Amino acid sequence: MTSTCPHCGWPDSQLFRVVSRHATAAGLTVWARCACGSLQVREVGAAGARIVSRGRPDLVPGCPA
């Protein structure tokens, strides 16, 4: 995975902080928080990990980015 966080540029390949993990039928769903505070949901399966959704940093309320 070569993408980076659009908010702070943190590489998605490096988990900053894992919030929780949930086993699903597809594999594993991992909630993680980025260095900038945005929350992301990853799906980890046999094909690898992909980011399902990504929240905004909650450390800077009102920021249009």
Q: Does 8 bind Zn ion (CB under 5 A)?
A: yes
**How far from each other are the two terminal CA atoms of the chain, in whole angstroms?**
23
DSSP code at position 33: E
Q: Does 42 bind Zn ion (CB under 5 A)?
A: no
Kindly give, in sequence order, each residue whose CB lies less than 8 Å from that of residue 64, ignoring residues fewer than 6 positions away. none
Stretch of 10-18, 20-28, 39-47, 48-56 lying at the interface with Zn ion (CB under 5 A):
10-18
List the one residue from 4, 10, 33, 55 that touches Zn ion (CB under 5 A): 10
As a whole number of angstroms, the distance between CA 65 and CA 60 comes to: 10
List the one residue from 30, 32, 34, 40 that touches Zn ion (CB under 5 A): 34
Q: Does 5 bind Zn ion (CB under 5 A)?
A: yes
As a whole number of angstroms, the distance between CA 59 and CA 49 comes to: 26
Residues that bind Zn ion (CB under 5 A): 5, 7-8, 10, 34, 36
